[in-house]
């Protein structure tokens, strides 16, 4: 499966490294030279601009800061049919207030009405992307989104990376997933395993 990773930071590099063994991973950067260098360090298939990386990708993983999301989406086009994964966390109070009770993933879905948007990995520290097991047990990743077939794809990606995917509900549930990160930071909670998702 062709997976585009948008951004070459800590999360982008972690996803690229974790997925390159099983998928055709193309990494996108604002700087195409950085994209090529990151691809070679992570084992990704190639590095391009954001738009080139996302073109024809079945899955697009957005690993840019929330404040850069609007700019980034403008470069990506409509992404019709693509599974789009938002991992962002709005760090500042101002960013959270600007969401006006909705969530980053819902805002992205509004911007990309023909794509299938999911939220996940926002509660996972970058260093665990390539090492998701704790004491030999796969840690959980909570995934929200509306499209059932798209959710199967996101679950498969999570398993390929060594995570235990948990259905956190429809895209609207992202509002709670984003609050969860605030709580996790406050109590310094690391990777966890959901014992029952029913
Ligand atoms: N770090 C974590 O443990 C963690 C955990 C969960 C969620 N997240 C979320 O994941 C996303 C990425 O986090 P990260 O830690 O990977 O960040 P990072 O190391 O700072 O990397 C972000 C990347 O986004 C791209 N970018 C595009 N526009 C940018 C701008 N205006 N300013 C800075 N970078 C810009 C850059 O790649 P190019 O220049 O190559 O385009 C940059 O390397 C964020 O939304 C964050 O909230 C992070």
Ligand 1 pocket check for 32: Cβ under 6 Å: no
Atom of ligand 1 lying closest to residue 127 CA: 3
Which CATH number characterizes residue 158's domain?
Answer: 3.40.50.720
Ligand 1 pocket check for 64: Cβ under 6 Å: yes
For residue 1, the number of C-alpha atoms closer than 13 Å in the C-beta half-sphere is 15
* Phi, psi for residue 196 in degrees, rounded to 5: -140, 130
Q: 91 C-alpha to center of ligand 1: Å?
A: 12
pLDDT digit string (tens) for 16-72?
A: 999 999 999 999 999 999 999 999 999 999 999 999 999 999 999 999 999 999 999
Q: Which two tokens stand for residue 33?
A: 């030279």
Q: Which two tokens stand for residue 13?
A: 């590099």
Question: Does residue 70 lie within any of the structural domains?
Answer: yes
Cα distance between residue 91 and residue 69, in whole Å: 13
Choose the residue to mutate in 8, 10, 128 for probing ligand 1, maximizing ligand atoms within 8 Å of C-beta: 10
By CB atoms closer than 10 A (0-12, 13-18, 19+), residue 197 is exposed
Question: Does residue 150 lie within any of the structural domains?
Answer: yes
Question: Does residue 192 lie within any of the structural domains?
Answer: no
Question: Does residue 194 lie within any of the structural domains?
Answer: no
**Whether the model pTM is above 0.75:** yes
Token pair 């097991």 in the structure block, residue: 133
């Amino acid at each position: 499966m062709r997976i585009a990773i948008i951004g070459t930071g800590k999360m982008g590099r972690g996803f690229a490294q974790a997925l390159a063994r099983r998928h055709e991973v193309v990494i996108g950067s604002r700087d195409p030279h950085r994209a090529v260098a990151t691809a070679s360090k992570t084992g990704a298939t190639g590095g391009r601009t954001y738009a080139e990386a996302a073109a024809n990708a079945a899955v697009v993983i957005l690993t840019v800061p929330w404040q850069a999301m609007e700019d980034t989406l403008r470069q990506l086009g409509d992404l019709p049919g693509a599974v789009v994964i938002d991992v962002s966390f709005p760090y500042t109070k101002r960013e959270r207030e600007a969401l006006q009770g909705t969530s980053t993933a819902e805002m992205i879905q509004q911007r990309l009405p023909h794509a299938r948007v999911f939220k996940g990995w926002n509660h996972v520290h970058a260093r665990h992307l390539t090492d998701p097991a704790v004491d030999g047990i796969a840690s959980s990743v909570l995934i929200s989104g509306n499209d059932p077939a798209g959710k199967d794809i996101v679950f498969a990606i999570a398993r390929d990376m060594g995570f235990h995917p948990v259905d956190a509900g429809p895209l609207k549930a992202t509002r709670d997933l984003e609050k969860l990160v605030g709580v996790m930071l406050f109590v310094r909670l690391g990777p966890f395993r959901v014992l029952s998702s029913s």
